[in-house]
Structure formats: structure tokens, C-alpha cells
Structure 1
């Protein structure tokens, strides 16, 4: 159960909300009788909507504070707000004399403009909490689609009942109540359709929402000059949006929110102006922002002028985007915050490799990696790859899953999932990780625990590559690992160690290069990371690190280690030739690294795009100290740039 004890700020806001609802009921009864019953009916409708969400077995959000909690628990103040918002929206639509076919769209846009401002503000105070925070300052995009659909559905049903029902006053009083059931049914149906569309992963959720709201705006904008604008200014109609916009801005500037999320200093006032412009549009003549000559009765609207305005707006939007400061370089690595998905970074990944052994002594290697690409509207996707090396059976199984959306936003942790039914999952933080993967008849369930301090490569700061771009890179080495592996229906308990790599930055220039990467774990509890990158431009990057038994890490420069290739292996799948076997010399110590299984090549069928084809696998280590390793070989196949030899 979540505590619903109200804080002082919540008490003040909800007391004002209660008073506002009471005042609007009195006003509507005296001056706007036709919409009086909308307020209590919308309050009931709001409760039905809220209860349907918070009473789910796994609710998408939950409330933390309430002066009076209704079943669910749903705070009374929340459902009162539904009543006042829907009243304000319908009163505005009526004042504008919006044609019936566009009324739901206008109503939905007006209501959603309020939520774009209020939800980030109120969530920042913890008044309600999203189970899976989303991309819009912690709020899922589905929430805003839901707001639009809720208000548009109720408006459509209310207008239909009012228009086609009897004109007797008793029926008109019942109309707001009769709209509740069909509006709820429409909401459920439309949202199921939207979630199905989102689940098809044609585009990422941000782009899908932008497309939907952009379409609705294109429908509404050409109609605006034709809508009525000669109404007498009504403060009561504006009371609810004014209250919510003002409260949200007060939270933004009166709390640390403007420092934690500086983008909101521009975003929330902008949406406030946009929303209030919509609510004030019926009074534009009285306010002097437009002349009556612009009314359709006096002059027709120029389509060319409207298209010109849209073009200027689009150019301004592009200019604003171009002028936005580059958020790429974000200071030193910040843990545990940087374990989470970082929206400011173009390319990033979460990477686990490890060695497992059953109680009977059967050995396995595993790989789980989530890649995220966020550049341009056409490059926003998540590629997930998993692999299992069965040493005893001399087999290697791999699979990959592509989704056209970015990982969900979280705070100080990662929560990653991929594949049908989320068969690949990774959840964790700075201390504990949980992994689940299914590939080729193998099912892996693991718990990983950090045993050493994080290894901050490059001193924990951004590292510029010689060939362009930069990277942030840190690891958690020697993670104690336990769990189970199921092979063809038989489950084994396993123990071992894992290596977690987290890397992010401007990495497009790097990922088209070739490289050899070694994660070496020695029996004396030392860990060595080495890599060398070589592209056709002959711009070499070589670096590494060594972590001692006590967890102290020091960097290795390129001249402090050598890697000698001992043999080759030709893939029967792709025909690519990879190094196979290495002599690694680190500060005078010599180690020999040999693959445990020769064929550990990932070579998925990608269809229309080239996709990564690379070798990554479990290896044994002999020489100065025995141990085990994971080795990655990239660029030896059909990469964009690639490399033939090191």
C-alpha cells in the first residue's frame, strides 16, 4: 500500500481546487445552466477513468497523497479536476461554435495542453508516480494520447447525445450522464488500438505521438480564423486552466524543478502560452488581438496565407532545433545516474559477458547487449543481441531483436527489455543486476552482484577519438553471478563471474571501425581490459586498464601492451576471416588467449540494412596467470569501414 498522507503543499493546492469546483458549480447553475450537469457528470467520468487505471493488477501509475481518497485509491481532488477541465473545454468549444465534426479534436487539444504543463510539475512533487517513467520529463507519451482520447471521446458522445436526443430540458439534463458509458467504451477501444499500433514498432513512441498531434493540429489550424471570436470575456470559463497553469508554473519556479530540469523553463511557459491562446480564442475581438474584418462574414480566409504561416512555423521550428545547445558532453561519469538511459547521447549500450559453470562442472559463456541509437528522426531504435556458448557441446547460439523505439527513461537504474513477450530483460542499478535471456533452446536467469568499485576508463571523463567523436566508458568487473540455465527443458544451477560494460557518446565514427577487445579475468583476481581500433584511415586507438585484487584501477597506454595474433579462423557462415588465438603481453607478463569454441560469430540476417557481423566469445587464458576472457572482434567481415589485420 502507498501512503496517501498529504503534504502541506498538496493541502493548499487541493483546498483551492475544492473551492474552485464549488464556485464553478454555483456559476454554472446561475449563468450557464446548459452545461451545469457536465461538471458532476465529468467528475464521475473522471473517477471511472482513474479507477480503471489504478485498480489494475499492475497499475501504470499510483497516487501518493489525498485529502479524501475514493476507492482505488483515487484522490477526490483529481476527479474534481476532471470535472472543471471538461467544463472549461466544452464551454470554450461552445463559445467558438466549432463544427460538430471538429469539436472532439479541439476539445482534446485544449485539455492536453493543460496536461503537458501540469503533469511534469505535479509529478516532480511526487503527487503521483509512474511505474515506468517516460520520455517527456518522466511521463510516458501514452499519457498524453490518453488525455486527448478521454476528452475527445466524452465531447463526441456528449455532442451526439445532445444533438440527436429530445430537446426537452429533462433529457438535456441527463445528456452529460448518458455520455459517460459510451465515452468510456470509446476511450478503451481507441487506446487499445493505439497501444497495438505502438507495439508494432513502426516508429518510436515520440515520433508516433508527434505525428498524431501534428495531424490533429493540421486539421484544426486552418479552421481557427473561421471560428467565432466575438464573445464577452468569461473569467469563469478560464478559471480551471488558469488555476492549473499558474500552479504548475509556481511549482516550476518555486521549487528546485527549474534547476533539475532546465529545459522546462522554456517548455512549460511555451505550452502555457499555447494552451491559453486556445482558451482565449473565443474572445480575440474583445482582447483586440484580431479585428472583426477577419470574420468569415466580412472576409474569406486566404489559404495561401495559412500555408505561409505553417511554412514560417516549420522554418522557425527547424531553426530553434539547430540553435539548441549540443548536450553531448555532459561532464564526468555520474553514478548511479548514468546507468539509466541518457536521452542526450546519440549512441549507447549496456553490455554483459560472463562465464558460468554448473555444479557438475559444465561450462558456458554468455552475452547480453542492448544498443540504443538516437540520431535524426529515422535513426531511433534499439538493437538487442544475446548469445550462449556451450563449451561441452561445442555450440554457439545467438539471436537479435530490433525495435524502432528507444529504451524507457528511468532514474539511477536501467530497465531494458526486448523480444516477443520481453524474453530478453535486464534490470539493475549500481550494485545488483538481474538478467533473463532466451536463445536457441537455452534460458538464462541470473543475478549479478558488484564485488569491486566501478572501473572508470579515461578517468571517468569524455575521451575524444582521433578519428572523430568521443566516448564515456566504465565497467563493473568481476560481478559475482549466480542463477540457472535451462538447456532443452533441463535446469542447472550455475555460478560464475560477469563483466558489465557501459558506453555512450558520439560513437558513430567508432562503430564503423575494426577492433579487438579483451576482457581478461585472472585467477589472482586481477582484471585487464585492452582494445585497439584500426580503420582504413590508419588512425590507431589503443588503450586499456588493469584492476588489482583490491579494486584499484590504473590506465594502460598503448605502448604498455602488445597483442600478437597466433592463428586464423574462417567463418563457414559468412566467409569472413577472424584472428583466432592471441599472445598478449602486458607490462612484461605474457598471457595466451584461446577461444573455448572456434565458431562464436554473430551473423544475423538483417534484410535491408548491413547490420553488425562480428565474433565475440568465451576464451581461456594461460601463461603468467591462468584465467578466462571474453574477446570481441569487429570489422573483419563486411563492416562499413572495417579492417583486415592488426
Structure 2
């Protein structure tokens, strides 16, 4: 085993260690000397910012899809690529590249939730991201764009999916023009989304049963060096498609003082940033999964917008059994508005 391979393995084991988990979920609250900080005032530029940002310690490209089969059955699909920098500095070539990539994928139905993960080293053709044309890949999992059509694919022993997507609206910048605060102590990320993806056609296979699907999808891209404060143990994140065409993103970072924020998105892509004092996220019902108890039904309110929603999971047992387990699954909601979306919960 070469020195660089040992460093890659050591970094991945560090992310899973109890010491690091005590400093924020998956080590995201520990110090990041030598890496670039997320600061206000940076203008996001596209397509360049679709690509990787090697000066930052952690980065992810995330897509969640709410899908419906021809028979009306509901499904969910998740595709995630994480880039983790082993140390500060330029990317390097070949095994001198300083990045490790980790892929997560999952497929969900009302009765099943199946998760898979994979690891690869950057710089040697196993994983990477390019901005124009956009392509993110790890092994044979890929997310790419060509001639206006986006394609995403993943496969594992118990599931597979291939989805073709069109973007029916603009990119959305969260927070202050893409600068997203995660705590009152200064931790932050750069964060934008494409919440207007329409799944025009696709196929999902779950435990040997294949279904043709269409639906809606939400893509997030986020990068940072220290996105959590040391006292924060995890987050609760909602990406919601309202039936009337609006979109809503809400998150809560749990710590000594909870930090909440969100974005209200009009059907034409115009946005309004939501502050902590406008939002309330209240767990309604827990689900026990192994030795963990997670809140899988929620009430979400935004008084300034007249929003009062109660969410229900498609499958309350949608726990992703990674090195740092987290819950990720499709939800529906009703109340002042109806719709569907995705919920992610970490650090429980």
C-alpha cells in the first residue's frame, strides 16, 4: 500500500471515529486550518461552480427524486457524491491528488429501503467532477448533462435506477446569494440548488422488480471547510415541492442553540430567504430503527408565509447504514398546502 493510499484510508477512518463524531456530525465541526473559509460576498459563477472546489475540505453533489410508477406506486431515489480533501493544497495529478470521493445511493418504496455506498480516490480515473459539460461520477455511478438533458444512474446488488431529467426553472442560490450560514459562530457553506428538475422518463429496479417512473427531483451542490460548529450534532433538512408550483427548503442545525434557515421559491425561481425566527420545525412521531430513535413525522410552519405543514414518510425506516448513519427518504405533506419532497436527518 502506497503512502497516498494509506492517507486516504486514514482520512476515511477518521471520519468514522467516535472522537470526530463528538465534534459535529461526521467531523464537520472540527477545525480546518489551511482550507479556504466560506465568506460572504463571493459571487457564484456558472457553469464553473458546478465543478469541484479543491480549496475547500468537504463538498457534495446531491440529487433526490420523488417518483411515481405507471401503476401509481410511489418511489424515491437518492444519488450523492462527496469530495473529501485529505489536506490543503492544489489537487495534484494521479496518486498525488488530495481528494477522496464517496458515493451514496438509495432507492425507496413503501415497503423497501435499500442503500449502497462506494469509495474511490481522485486523480486516477475512479471518480471526479467536471463543470462544462457537467459530469460527476464514481465507478459506474454518474450524473451528467448534455444538450439540455440531465442523466443520473446508479446500480447496486438490490437496486438500480436510470433517470432522464429536464430543468424547468433556474438555479436557486440559498442564504445571501449562495452564502449559507450554518451557525451563529460563523460556520457557513456555499449552497445552491436546482429544485425544478422534472423526471421525464426513468426506470427503477428494486429487489428485482422494475418500474417505469416519472416525477420531480431536487439537486443540491454545497461546499465548505467547517460547515458546523463543534457543539452541533446534526441537522434536519427538508426539500419540498408544493402542488401549486412553489418550492421550499428548510434546515435546522441542532446544537446548544438551534440554527434554522430556509428559502421560499416562487414558481418562476424568485426567492425569499427565511430567517430562524420565521421557522418552526417540530417532531411529531418517532420511529425506532435498531438502537436509534428518529423523528419521522414533522410539523413545519413558516408564519410569515401562512405555511403549516405536517409531513409523513413514504417509508419510516429509510435509514442509510453508512459509516455515519443518517435518515434520507421521500415524504408527503398536507395542511395549509399539499405536496411531496425529501427529508434528511443526521446525528441521531
TM-score class, shorter:
0.7 to 0.9
Specify the structure having the higher radius of gyration (Cα): 1
Equivalent residue number for residue 455 of structure 1: 172
TM-fit CA distance, 1:430:
10
CA distance in 2, matches of 1:431, 1:501: 18
Contact 1:527–1:546 (8 Å) recurs in 2: yes
CA distance in 2, matches of 1:624, 1:456: 26
TM-score norm. by structure 2 comes to: 0.79
The secondary structure found in structure 1 opposite 2:67 is strand
Contact 2:311–2:332 (8 Å) recurs in 1: yes
CA distance in 2, matches of 1:463, 1:548: 19
CA deviation string 1:322-360 (max 9, x = no partner): 9x9958659221122111112222211000011111112
Is the aligned partner of 1:582 residue 2:302?
no
Q: In the superposition, relative to structure 1, how do residues 517 and 375 fare at CA in structure 2: closer, same or farther (>3 Å)?
A: same
Q: In the superposition, relative to structure 1, how do residues 430 and 527 fare at CA in structure 2: closer, same or farther (>3 Å)?
A: farther
Matches within 5 A, 1:312-391: 326=36, 331-376=42-87, 380-391=99-110
Contact 1:338–1:412 (8 Å) recurs in 2: no
Contact 1:336–1:430 (8 Å) recurs in 2: no
CA deviation string 1:263-308 (max 9, x = no partner): xxxxxxxxxxxxxxxxxxxxxxxxxxxxxxxxxxxxxxxxxxxxxx
How many residue pairs match? The answer is 306
CA deviation string 1:30-49 (max 9, x = no partner): xxxxxxxxxxxxxxxxxxxx
Q: In the superposition, relative to structure 1, how do residues 388 and 555 fare at CA in structure 2: closer, same or farther (>3 Å)?
A: same
Contact 1:341–1:414 (8 Å) recurs in 2: no
Counterpart selection for 1:402 from 107, 119, 138: 119
Q: In the superposition, relative to structure 1, how do residues 376 and 356 fare at CA in structure 2: closer, same or farther (>3 Å)?
A: same
Contact 1:370–1:383 (8 Å) recurs in 2: yes
Matches within 5 A, 1:162-311: none
TM-fit CA distance, 1:417:
2.2
Equivalent residue number for residue 516 of structure 1: 236
TM-fit CA distance, 1:431:
4.9
The secondary structure found in structure 2 opposite 1:410 is strand
Counterpart selection for 1:529 from 246, 249, 266: 249
CA deviation string 1:213-264 (max 9, x = no partner): xxxxxxxxxxxxxxxxxxxxxxxxxxxxxxxxxxxxxxxxxxxxxxxxxxxx
CA deviation string 1:577-611 (max 9, x = no partner): 1112111112232111011111000123xxxxxx3
Q: Please, which runs of 5 or more residues in structure 1 have no aligned partner?
A: 1-196, 205-321, 605-610, 637-646
TM-fit CA distance, 1:433:
2.2
Equivalent residue number for residue 24 of structure 2: none
CA distance in 2, matches of 1:592, 1:340: 36
Equivalent residue number for residue 294 of structure 1: none
CA distance in 2, matches of 1:495, 1:485: 10
CA distance in 1, matches of 2:122, 2:143: 17
Contact 2:37–2:224 (8 Å) recurs in 1: no
CA distance in 2, matches of 1:489, 1:441: 7
Contact 1:348–1:371 (8 Å) recurs in 2: yes
Q: Which moved more, 1:351-360 or 1:454-463?
A: 454-463
Q: Which of structures 1 and 2 has the larger relative contact order (alpha carbons within 8 angstroms, sep 6+)?
A: 2
TM-fit CA distance, 1:440:
4.3
The secondary structure found in structure 2 opposite 1:338 is helix
Counterpart selection for 1:504 from 223, 241, 249: 223
Equivalent residue number for residue 436 of structure 1: 153
Contact 1:412–1:429 (8 Å) recurs in 2: no
Matches within 5 A, 1:402-421: 402-405=119-122, 407-408=127-128, 410-418=130-138
CA distance in 1, matches of 2:272, 2:148: 22
CA distance in 2, matches of 1:542, 1:430: 37
Q: Which moved more, 1:422-431 or 1:333-342?
A: 422-431
The secondary structure found in structure 2 opposite 1:458 is coil
CA distance in 2, matches of 1:490, 1:509: 40
Equivalent residue number for residue 273 of structure 1: none
Equivalent residue number for residue 204 of structure 2: 485
TM-fit CA distance, 1:201:
5.8
CA distance in 2, matches of 1:633, 1:327: 25
CA distance in 1, matches of 2:35, 2:105: 36
CA distance in 1, matches of 2:77, 2:37: 34
As a proportion of its length, which structure holds more strand?
2
Is the aligned partner of 1:602 residue 2:313?
no
Q: In the superposition, relative to structure 1, how do residues 462 and 510 fare at CA in structure 2: closer, same or farther (>3 Å)?
A: same
Q: Please, which runs of 5 or more residues in structure 2 have no aligned partner?
A: 9-32, 89-96
Is the aligned partner of 1:556 residue 2:274?
yes
CA distance in 1, matches of 2:105, 2:129: 22
TM-score norm. by structure 1 comes to: 0.44
